[in-house]
Amino acid sequence: MRGALKGFAIREWGPLYATVRAALVTRGWRAIPMTLAAVCLTSLFQIVQNQDWGYQPVQDIGSVRAEDPLVLALLRTPLSLFVPALDLPVWGALAQILLVFGIAEICLGRWRTLLIAYVATLAGTLYARVGIALGPDGPLGLPASDAHVVDTGPSAAVVGLAVYVCWRYRARWTGALVVVAMVVEVLIKNNLAGKEHIAAIAAVLAVLAFQEWRGRGQRGGAEPRPGTRSWKPPIRS
């Protein structure tokens, strides 16, 4: 039994663990400069928005609501990722960024990490508008009152990055567990945040499907063999 579990762990997390460990051993904190900057920016926003003079400026540059004009929401969306939700403990957001963004930065490179994080966050932001337009009666709809909900924080980006990294590094069971957990979240607590997480996952899966299709076309339909370097995404900085 122990041998089977060890074999599963090696197959599931071995390539991911080896990549992250090698980067941290050789470069230390220098391997994740973007992640550390994101942690510092999130901490700064948390401090400022809890000041009497700072709450409104943070809202003006990083707070997104479905009732906002679309252009304004799109302009605020990138920074909204780093504005912690006021009703949740900030340490949770900081831990999510440090762990998931850090792993993604090592495995994907900083620019791809930021791109996937933005795609996931943007998918959640746009879904809110679609869900409110559909109304509360359907499974994909939202009540009109959700148009006033402040939509900030890194959770959609974290979920999207987790699924993306798991798929790229063949940690398929872990990625599936993330998806199932988000579905259960919606079933238990049917709110805007939970459904935005599902929208983020859907957007990332669409990106992965496109990349797989394009990759197969370039390889002529041949699947790379596990155990070769060709199937692993390179480390980028």
Q: What is the pLDDT of residue 86?
A: 85
What distance in Å separates the CA atoms of residue 39 and residue 51, rounded to the nearest whole number? Answer: 19
Over residues 139-163, the pLDDT tens digits come to 889 999 999 999 999 999 999 999 9
User: How many angstroms separate the Cα of 189 from the Cα of each of 83, 86, 114, 153, 194?
Assistant: 23, 19, 28, 18, 7
Q: Work out the burial of residue 199: count CB atoms within 10 Å of its CB; fewer than 13 is exposed, 13-18 middle, 19 or more buried.
A: buried
What distance in Å separates the CA atoms of residue 121 and residue 100, rounded to the nearest whole number? Answer: 15
Percent of the chain residues topping a pLDDT of 70: 92
Q: What is the pLDDT of residue 220?
A: 66
What distance in Å separates the CA atoms of residue 52 and residue 74, rounded to the nearest whole number? Answer: 26
Secondary structure of 146-213 as H, E, C letters: HHHCCCCCCHHHHHHHHHHHHHHCCCHHHHHHHHHHHHHHHHHCCCHHHHHHHHHHHHHHHHHHHHHH
Over residues 13-48, the pLDDT tens digits come to 999 999 999 999 999 999 999 999 999 999 999 999
Q: Is 0.85 surpassed by the pTM of this model?
A: yes
pLDDT beyond 60 at 233: no
Q: Give 91-141 as a DSSP string.
A: HHHHHHIIIIIHHHHHHH-HHHHHHHHHHHHHHHHHHHHHHHHH-TTSTT-
Q: What is the pLDDT of residue 87?
A: 83
**Signed CA dihedral, 182, 196, 114, 82: sign only:** negative
Over residues 85-102, the pLDDT tens digits come to 888 899 999 999 999 999
Over residues 51-66, the pLDDT tens digits come to 999 999 999 999 999 9
Phi and psi at residue 109, to the nearest 5°: 95, 155
Cβ(54)–Cβ(48) under 8 Å? yes
> How many Cα atoms sit within 13 Å of 124 on the Cβ side?
34
Over residues 180-218, the pLDDT tens digits come to 999 999 999 888 999 999 999 999 999 999 998 888 877
